[in-house]
């Protein structure tokens, strides 16, 4: 009986360590790669730890070095006194020699589009795209849009999402349209109560840990295509 018990314990130990070995090991093609993520509170994660975010979990799963450049309230196209320089300039502060660069942005630009203007957003986004390509010519670049929201059709958010797809497309930078393909139903109060911070009260932006876990497979499948 003792030998049988020892056998089962040994097999359990082997299974656990085999599973661990499949995550973030040197056999993973992303192992040791450097990933930088720049953006707004989708990156900084608002009031919860960065370690809850899907991009942090993606990096750790694959054994990557992770650099977070998120700022709550930050915009692509317009500086804000409380929230810092706009991303089209701020990207220069990022570390050199990144293998993956992920931009997650547009939520705040959409909220302030009356002040920014869609043409100005496109212009500044183009500057950001060109700057990232020049700074990281050998890196893989990606953009993620904001989530959907109530009354999305015809809204400022839809204009910013479509502008992001258009401008990044000119530079052959892949964009994940999280507003339409993210499986994040931010327009739903019931959904946000489960998957958003503060149960989604007055919040269509900030996922909680469960929400990030929900989105991770979508984001991971997208990134691993390239």
Q: What are the pLDDT digits (tens) for 166-209?
A: 999 999 999 999 999 999 999 999 999 999 999 999 999 999 99
**Is residue 1 one of the residues assigned to a domain?**
no
Residue 26: per-residue pLDDT: 79
Compute CA distances 48 → 65, 68, 177, whole Å.
21, 14, 24
Q: Is residue 18 very low, low, confident or very high in pLDDT (cuts 50, 70, 90)? A: very low
Residue linked to tokens 């056998």: 7
Contact 177, 225 (CB under 8 A): no
**Is residue 6 one of the residues assigned to a domain?**
no
Helix H or strand E encompassing 100: strand 100-104
Q: Is residue 9 very low, low, confident or very high in pLDDT (cuts 50, 70, 90)? A: very low
| Domain carrying residue 202 | 29-223
Contact 76, 128 (CB under 8 A): yes
Output the six-digit token pair for 76.
């692509």
Q: Indicate if the pLDDT at residue 16 is higher than 50.
A: no
Q: Is residue 57 very low, low, confident or very high in pLDDT (cuts 50, 70, 90)? A: very high
| pLDDT tens track for 148-157 | 999 999 999 9
Mean pLDDT of the chain: 92
**Is residue 24 one of the residues assigned to a domain?**
no
% of the chain with per-residue pLDDT over 70:
89
Q: Indicate if the pLDDT at residue 6 is higher than 80.
A: no
**Is residue 8 one of the residues assigned to a domain?**
no
pTM of the model as a whole: 0.88
Output the furthest CA–CA distance in the chain (Å, rounded). 75
The CATH number of the domain holding residue 188 is 3.40.50.1110
Q: Indicate if the pLDDT at residue 3 is higher than 70.
A: no
Domain total for the chain?
1
**Is residue 179 one of the residues assigned to a domain?**
yes
Burial label for 85, CB within 10 Å (0-12, 13-18, 19+), is middle
């Amino acid at each position: 009986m003792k030998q049988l018990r020892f056998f089962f314990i040994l097999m359990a130990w082997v299974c656990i360590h085999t599973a661990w070995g499949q995550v973030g090991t040197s056999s993973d093609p992303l192992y040791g790669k450097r990933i930088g993520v720049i953006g707004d509170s989708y990156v900084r994660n608002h009031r919860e730890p960065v370690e809850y975010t899907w991009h942090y979990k993606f990096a750790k799963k694959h054994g990557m070095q992770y650099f977070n450049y998120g700022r709550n309230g930050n915009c692509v196209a317009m500086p804000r006194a409380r929230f810092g320089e706009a991303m089209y300039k701020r990207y220069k502060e990022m570390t050199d020699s990144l293998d993956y660069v992920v931009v997650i942005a547009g939520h705040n630009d959409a909220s302030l589009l009356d002040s920014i203007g869609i043409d100005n957003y496109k212009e500044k986004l183009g500057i950001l795209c060109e700057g990232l390509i020049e700074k990281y010519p050998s890196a893989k670049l990606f953009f993620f849009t904001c989530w959907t929201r109530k009354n999305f059709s015809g809204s400022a958010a839809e204009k910013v999402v479509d502008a992001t797809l258009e401008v990044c497309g000119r530079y052959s930078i892949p964009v994940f349209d999280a507003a339409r393909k993210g499986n994040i139903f931010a327009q739903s109060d019931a959904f946000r109560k489960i998957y958003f911070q503060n149960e989604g009260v007055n919040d269509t932006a900030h996922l909680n840990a469960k929400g990030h876990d929900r989105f991770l497979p979508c984001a991971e499948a997208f990134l691993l295509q390239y």
